[in-house]
């Protein structure tokens, strides 16, 4: 049994192909390749932490592939996930209305195939080092100025395993980006994260798609 980390699949999102220069002619080809690369890497005995932005567009279509992905899947929502705690739609109205919308949104992701949704997971130990799990890095963005600062983990001297920045970096200092655009489309094994941490803070460029 192996633990994996990944993020930013953007199932169903046409513009991400252009934005991140993904090598696909359209959404169907991209979705199919993401599923293939995942299942070539992960088995049903494994656990996969998906650190946000799993799907965009019409959720009925873009979430359809989740059930085809191997392993036990845990979602840490990102800013493009409809069940994200910071989503504007979930913060409107009275408390009861907000809770109903939040429950309904989360249920869609659970029904699609996620075993669990964890908004703010506690730190994990990776290779004997403390690491936060978050959609967001401590600092840095793929759109210039840092966004969603209030939802980012606090840099307390440990590491962060994150997504959000797409192909901006694979590692920057103590920040390890597990987004598919930095790792050739595949989830990243915990053992790989351990080796990066053991080698210490540094900067690494993204790997190409395979």
Specify the pairing of strand 129-133 against strand 124-126. antiparallel
What confidence tens digit (pLDDT) does each residue in 45-54 have? 999 999 999 9
| Average pLDDT for 55-66 | 90
Residue 143: strand, helix, or coil: coil
Residue 139 half-sphere exposure toward CB, CA atoms < 13 A? 4
Tell me the CATH number of domain 3-204, given options 3.40.109.10, 2.60.40.10, 3.20.170.30, 3.60.21.10. 3.60.21.10
- Give the Cα separation of 146 and 140 in Å (integer): 6
**pLDDT greater than 90 at residue 21:** yes
Cα–Cα distances (Å) from 16 to 28, 68, 143, 180, in that order, read: 13, 21, 13, 12
pLDDT digits (tens, 9 = 90+) for 146-182: 888 899 999 999 999 999 999 999 999 999 999 999 9
Q: Is the pTM of this model over 0.85?
A: yes
Predicted confidence (pLDDT) at residue 86 exceeds the cutoff of 90:
no
Please give the pLDDT value at position 55.
95
* Domains in the chain: boundaries: 3-204
Give the total residue count for the chain. Answer: 210
Q: Which residues pair with 6 in a beta bridge?
A: 50
Rg (CA), the chain: 16
């Amino acid at each position: 049994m192996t633990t994996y980390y990944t993020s930013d699949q953007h199932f169903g999102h046409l513009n991400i192909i252009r934005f991140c220069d993904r090598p696909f002619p359209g959404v169907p080809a991209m979705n199919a390749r993401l599923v293939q690369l995942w299942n070539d890497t992960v088995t049903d005995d494994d656990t996969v932490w998906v650190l946000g932005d799993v799907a965009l567009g019409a959720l009925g279509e873009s979430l359809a592939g989740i059930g085809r992905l191997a392993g036990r899947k845990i979602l840490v929502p990102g800013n493009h996930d409809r069940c994200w705690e910071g989503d504007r739609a979930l913060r409107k109205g009275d408390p009861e209305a907000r809770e109903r919308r939040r429950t309904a949104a989360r249920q869609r992701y659970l029904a699609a195939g996620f075993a669990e949704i964890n908004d703010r997971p506690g730190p994990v130990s990776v290779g004997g080092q403390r690491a936060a799990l978050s959609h967001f890095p401590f600092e840095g963005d793929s759109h210039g100025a840092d966004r969603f600062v209030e939802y980012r983990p606090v840099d307390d001297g440990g590491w962060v395993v994150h997504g959000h920045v797409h192909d901006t970096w694979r590692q920057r200092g103590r920040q390890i980006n597990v987004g598919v655009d930095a790792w050739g489309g595949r989830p990243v094994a915990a053992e790989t994260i351990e080796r990066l941490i053991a080698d210490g803070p540094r900067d690494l460029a993204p790997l190409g798609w395979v």
